[in-house]
């Protein structure tokens, strides 16, 4: 990454930690065996996989045997929800989730509805946080599974998972938690939260893409999505991606070591940045500001302009931010998360997500705020005499694509 650029989109993905790069490179050179083979080369690979399993388990306060490696958070979510419901053997099932989940959960819910599963979507309100009383009202005797994300990828709000888990178990339902955004940023303790299934993804905490994990509480069953082998204790067939799993283990160990200090540092940086933006730029609001949020995440609404041209203009100035979830980029529809917390469609289109990470410091954010103030001022001048719907986007896009 060029040193002149500042990366502020860590909720989309994170750069690989140097220690992860070095460890994966070493493994690529010397560890090529199949982890299912009993000869020395295979056992060398198996050692890396099991060491990574222990590291991920320690990060989550789980037992190693409760960790199943997957290709990422999306597969982990699918395995948790579809696999668990299939394993129950029940013909009539009720599934509950929220209106602000990641598409890797919401699209699974849509699929379940097509298969005859009844799904309830519980709203969260302007604070971006699920009210446990609303969940209590939605729970029924035939509710089999509830899926609630730990922290939202767009606005950063953290859900009261332990209280939610108590309600679910009181009503005989299991709880799945999508912890893809929270793992490595805030403590994720599966014992304290009392969850049954929990999904994580390595590339969200400075590990490689294409690898994740599903925590499955001992005694909780989920049918495999694939068929073809007895890998991962029969829960996820296919030859293990040893090097990527090894990289995830190293990243998990690093995250555990720095979690407390980074949480404090990023919280201070984010709060200082938000205060500076609100002071420098008029007509800006912070979404879910009063809620408990991830320490690195800020969702801001710049009233009167659209987020996409603002994002492109900032990119031209060397700052990488997001207008929402990376998985929804290119969509003409406003973010479902932002409309779910009560923003009008025009307001939702005026938002930027800034997500900080290990490589960010105060100097970068000071320069970012200056660039942001200048860019917002410029775009508002362009938008003033015309419709506010698409202010200057064609001109900015043309400039961006000019060699």
Q: For the chain, what's the residue count?
A: 403
The pTM assigned to this predicted structure is: 0.92
- What are the start and end residues of each CATH 3.40.640.10 domain in the chain? 18-255
User: Each residue of 81-127: pLDDT tens digit?
Assistant: 999 999 998 989 999 999 999 999 999 999 999 999 999 999 999 99
Predicted confidence at residue 330, as pLDDT, reads 52
Tell me yes or no: is domain 18-255 CATH 3.40.50.620. no
Please state, in angstroms and rounded to a whole number, the distance separating the CA atoms of residues 235 and 222.
8
Decide the pairing of beta strands 197-201 and 212-216.
antiparallel
- Predicted confidence (pLDDT) per residue in 153-209, tens digit: 999 999 999 999 999 999 999 999 999 999 999 999 999 999 999 999 999 999 999
E-assigned strand segments in 316-365: 319-320, 351-355
Task: Tell me where in the chain the CATH 3.90.1150.10 domain(s) lie.
Answer: 6-12+259-400
CA gyration radius, the chain: 22
pLDDT tens string 30-48: 999 989 999 999 999 999 9
Task: Report, as residue numbers or ranges, the catalytic residues.
Answer: 327
* CATH number assigned to the domain covering 6-12+259-400: 3.90.1150.10
CA distance 318 to 232: 43
Residues 355-370 have a mean pLDDT of 97
Sign for the CA dihedral angle at 272, 372, 358, 216 comes to positive
Q: Using an 8 Å Cβ cutoff, are 102 and 149 in contact? A: yes
Across 45-54, 287-296, 326-335, least confident range: 326-335
Each residue of 59-72: b (16+ CB within 10 Å) or e? bbebbeebbbbbbb
Determine which of 12-21, 81-90, 383-392 has the lowest per-residue pLDDT on average.
Answer: 383-392
> CA 223, 224, 229, 232: dihedral to nearest 10 degrees?
-90
Distance separating alpha carbons of residues 51 and 245, to the nearest angstrom: 9
**pLDDT over 50 at 54, yes or no:** yes
CB atoms within 10 A of CB 137: 11
């Amino acid at each position: 990454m060029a040193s002149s650029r500042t990366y502020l989109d860590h909720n989309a993905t994170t750069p690989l930690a140097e220690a992860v790069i070095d460890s994966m490179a070493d493994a690529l050179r010397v560890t090529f065996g199949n982890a299912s083979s009993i000869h020395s080369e295979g056992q060398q690979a198996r050692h890396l996989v099991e060491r990574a399993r222990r590291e991920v388990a320690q990060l989550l306060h789980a037992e190693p045997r409760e960790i199943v490696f997957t290709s990422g958070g999306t597969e982990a979510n699918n395995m948790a929800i579809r696999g668990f419901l299939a394993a129950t053997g029940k013909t009539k099932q009720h599934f509950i989730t929220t209106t602000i989940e990641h598409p890797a959960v919401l699209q699974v819910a849509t699929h379940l509805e097509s298969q005859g599963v009844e799904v309830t979507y519980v709203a969260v309100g302007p604070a971006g946080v699920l009210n446990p009383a609303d969940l209590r009202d939605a729970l029924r005797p035939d509710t089999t599974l509830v899926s609630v994300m730990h922290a939202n990828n767009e606005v950063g709000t953290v859900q009261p998972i332990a209280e939610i888990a108590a309600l679910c178990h009181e009503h005989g339902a299991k709880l799945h938690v999508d912890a893809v955004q929270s793992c490595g940023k805030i403590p994720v303790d599966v014992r304290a939260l009392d969850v049954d299934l929990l999904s994580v993804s390595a590339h969200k905490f400075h590990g490689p893409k294409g690898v994740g994990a599903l925590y499955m509480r001992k005694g909780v069953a989920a049918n495999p999505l694939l068929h073809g082998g007895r890998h991962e204790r029969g829960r996820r067939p296919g030859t293990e991606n040893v090097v990527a799993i090894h990289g995830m283990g190293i990243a998990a160990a690093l995250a555990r070591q720095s979690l407390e200090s980074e949480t404090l540092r990023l919280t201070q940086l984010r709060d200082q940045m938000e205060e500076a933006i609100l002071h420098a730029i008029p007509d800006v609001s912070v979404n879910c500001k009063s809620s408990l949020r991830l320490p690195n995440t800020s969702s801001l609404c710049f009233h009167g302009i659209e987020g996409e041209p603002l994002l492109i203009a900032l990119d031209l100035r060397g700052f990488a931010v997001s207008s929402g979830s990376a998985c929804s980029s290119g969509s003409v529809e406003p973010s479902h998360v932002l409309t779910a917390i009560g923003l009008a469609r025009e307001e939702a289109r005026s938002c930027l997500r800034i997500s900080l990470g290990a490589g960010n410091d105060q100097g970068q954010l000071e320069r970012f705020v200056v660039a942001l103030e200048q860019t917002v001022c410029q775009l508002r001048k362009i938008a003033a005499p015309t419709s506010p719907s698409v202010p200057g986007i064609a001109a900015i896009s043309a400039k961006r694509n000019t060699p």
